[in-house]
Amino acid sequence: MAFYTALDENELLALLKRYGIGQLSSCTGVSDGIENSTYILDDGSSHWILTLFEDLSAAELPFFARLMTWLHDHGLPVACPLADANGMTLQQLSNKPALLFPRLAGHHPRAITSTHCIAIGDFLGRMHAVSCAYPEQRDNPRGTGWMEQSITRLGSLLDEEDAALLAAQVANATRLRTLSLPQGLIHGDLFHDNALFENEKLSGVIDFYNACTDMLALDLAILVNDWCALPDGGLDEQRVQTLLAAYNAHRPLTALEREHWRAILQLAATRFWLSRLLVEKLPARPGLNHPHKPSSEYRARLLHHIR
């Protein structure tokens, strides 16, 4: 479930009044996400997305709000938080920080095609090309240090083989981060359920709350690992090449990135294998379970890249 925090009706209506929104015809919780409480609001003619943040603090959120607004202003199809009558985007509901967005058109792609891969590769290439001018930075909270701490937390919950696999990937991450690969702002979580398509056209990209400064090729590898995935853990090479070509049209990979591409794919797979292991074995909230996102999927992806 992606609505852990219930809304108080009077508090919600008071907030919406500051946006010039009157009575709602519906307020529906969304069940696809993992980290936040998300609601679709409808007044009969317009639709909005209200997100309450379960883990991110009010101090952290302005970075993401400014980034989304900046990307939107630079012509990218990004969900942009709305400001109320007082010019404020960051709100508070049920003692949780919150943002309100217009609901973008379209749906998450389910059966991913080369057309989808062209569109999302084009988007990420454009985003990386323009974000080099973005004036802010944010350290990756799921970098090498997080990997080491997470493995320690999992401890005896890992069998010997998985512990060895993860230890090798910490060494892989450490080595990659000594290579001075191109850095910049990355989305960090651009899975297909964070993109919207309408009539095969990309209509929006959402959920920038993992955005940070890191290797640009890592962001691309995260994309490839999800959008080009096969059920057996491998990748559809036709989709891979289509996606990479669309990306390279805006930011060609360097020779060093191409040389270490397989290692970067391994790091991207490990990051999500490890975060899903934490959710499964050490859930942050009671009953938190996401069977549609099993850790085994990314373990298989890692093994494919190692082979």
The rounded distance, in Å, linking the Cα atoms of 66 and 294 is 32
| pLDDT reported for residue 23 | 85
pLDDT at residue 145, as a whole number? 98
Residue 22 CA: distances (Å) to CA of 13, 100, 111, 266: 7, 15, 38, 49
The Cα-based distances of 118 to 55, 57, 202 in angstroms read: 33, 35, 10
What pLDDT shows up at residue 22?
87
Tens digit of each residue's pLDDT, the chain (307 residues): 355 788 999 999 999 999 999 889 999 998 765 678 999 999 988 999 999 999 999 999 999 999 999 999 999 999 999 999 999 999 999 999 999 999 999 999 989 999 999 999 999 999 999 998 999 999 999 999 999 999 999 999 999 999 999 999 999 999 999 999 999 999 999 999 999 999 899 999 999 999 999 999 999 999 999 999 999 999 999 999 999 999 999 999 999 999 999 999 999 999 999 999 999 999 876 655 566 789 999 999 999 999 9
pLDDT on residue 173: 98
Burial (Cβ within 10 Å: 0-12, 13-18, ≥19) of residue 185: buried
- Alpha-carbon span 204 to 251, nearest angstrom: 20
Structure pTM? 0.94
pLDDT of residue 292: 72
Q: Are strands 183-186 and 201-205 parallel, antiparallel or unpaired?
A: unpaired
Exposed/middle/buried for residue 265 (C-beta within 10 Å: 0-12, 13-18, 19+): buried
- The structural domains of the chain, ordered by start, are 9-102 (3.30.200.20), 114-306 (3.90.1200.10)
Give the pLDDT confidence score for residue 1 in this predicted structure. 39
Query: Which pLDDT score is estimated for 31?
Result: 72
Residue 239: C-alpha distances to residues 57, 95, 187, 220, 244 (Å): 38, 44, 20, 13, 8
CA torsion through residues 258, 190, 145, 132, sign:
positive
H/E element, 61: helix 61-73
